[in-house]
Amino acid sequence: MNGIVVREDEAFEKALRRFSKTCERAGILSDMKKYRHYEKPSEEKKRRLNSSKRKRIREEKRVTWRSVEK
């Protein structure tokens, strides 16, 4: 379970921001969103393929920028 210790002189907004950051790093929100609705196996496969395509394109752009900079 994630949690933070709120300091005496700390504002509530800052503590909430720190808590949300720790939850984000732990992956709690992404897990919650993933299991919110049932996803058909075909939809899951399509989503994974699209994300891998985006990652590949992003990586190719990064590699080409590195070669251009040299």
Are 16 and 5 a contacting pair, CB within 8 Å? no
Q: What are phi and psi of 46, to 5 degrees?
A: -65, -40
pLDDT digits (tens, 9 = 90+) for 11-46: 999 999 999 899 888 888 888 888 888 889 999 999
What is the number of alpha carbons within 13 Å of residue 6 lying toward its C-beta? 10
Contact indicator for 22, 2 with CB cutoff of 8 Å: yes
Confidence of residue 70 (pLDDT cuts 50, 70, 90): low
What pLDDT is recorded for position 69? 66
Closest to 34 measured CA to CA, from 51, 18, 53, 12: 51
CB 22 within 8 A of CB 4: yes
